[in-house]
């Protein structure tokens, strides 16, 4: 009986070891496929234009969400549409100039940031963006995705009644991700542009 158990154990061990090369080969094959899938220069130019459109769309959503003059329904819809633009797990950095001139920066998930934007303790919020969207060159990452960044300038003003309470200008850097995702309708993979983490790189009082 003890001999049978030993034989079975050895047989199982050799079977497991025999499967390891196939797993490694499979992983290597997947990595090779990722390496072979590349975007042409013409594709990159198209995605640059799509990136600019998505950044501008996000800016419009931010203006709507922050505005106390818009209806709750419209602000809620803008919040939902804004989240669709982002890569899963994206975060937003917010910044504020303190009374001593120092800048406080905090990172939050995009969901929490947008929810907080709707409920800021001001009677009126005005958000403006300068007509400047600088998009850096796309580079392919080791994960097969393409990465870039877009730089925008945002002006934020908060009022209590008729009194201007806070105003600043912030330079923001938006991570751009081009990922190959499954299109369930066409049953094939397609490249799509997503917005990623947003960093506050420079903030000053206006």
**Whether residue 119 is found in the same domain as residue 195:** yes
**Whether residue 44 is found in the same domain as residue 96:** yes
**Whether residue 56 is found in the same domain as residue 15:** no
Give the pLDDT confidence score for residue 184 in this predicted structure: 77
Closest CA to 85 of 123, 36, 52: 52
- pTM of the shown model: 0.80
**Whether residue 48 is found in the same domain as residue 32:** no
**Whether residue 27 is found in the same domain as residue 52:** no
**Whether residue 137 is found in the same domain as residue 175:** yes
**Whether residue 25 is found in the same domain as residue 57:** no
Do 86 and 110 contact (CB within 8 A), yes or no? yes
Within 10 A of 148 (CB to CB), how many other CB atoms are there? 20
What's the CATH number where 99 sits?
A: 3.10.450
**Whether residue 110 is found in the same domain as residue 138:** yes
Domain count along the chain: 2
**Whether residue 180 is found in the same domain as residue 132:** yes
- Flag the least confident range among 41-45, 54-58, 64-68, 184-188: 184-188
pLDDT, tens digit, for every residue of 7-28?
443 344 334 444 444 444 444 4
Give the pLDDT confidence score for residue 185 in this predicted structure: 74
**Whether residue 32 is found in the same domain as residue 43:** no
Q: With a cut of 80, say whether residue 76 has pLDDT above it.
A: yes
Range of the domain at 3: 1-36
């Amino acid at each position: 009986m003890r001999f049978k158990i030993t034989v079975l154990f050895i047989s199982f061990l050799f079977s497991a070891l025999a499967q390891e090369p196939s797993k490694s080969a499979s992983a290597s094959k997947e990595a090779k496929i990722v390496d072979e899938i590349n975007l042409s220069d013409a594709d990159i130019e198209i995605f640059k234009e799509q990136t600019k459109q998505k950044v501008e769309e996000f800016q419009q959503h931010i203006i709507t969400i922050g505005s106390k003059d818009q209806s709750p329904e419209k602000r809620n819809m803008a919040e939902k549409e804004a989240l669709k633009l982002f890569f899963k797990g994206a975060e937003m950095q917010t910044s504020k100039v303190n009374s001593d001139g120092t800048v406080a920066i905090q990172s939050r998930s995009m969901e929490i940031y947008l929810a907080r934007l709707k409920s800021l303790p001001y009677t009126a919020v005005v958000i403006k963006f300068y007509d400047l969207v600088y998009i850096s060159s796309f580079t392919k990452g080791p994960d097969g995705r393409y990465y870039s960044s877009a730089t925008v300038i945002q002006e934020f003003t908060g009022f209590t009644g008729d009194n201007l309470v806070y105003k600043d200008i912030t330079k923001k850097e938006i991570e751009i991700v081009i990922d190959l995702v499954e299109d369930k309708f066409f049953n094939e993979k397609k490249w799509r542009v997503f917005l990623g983490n947003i960093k506050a790189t420079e903030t000053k009082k206006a």
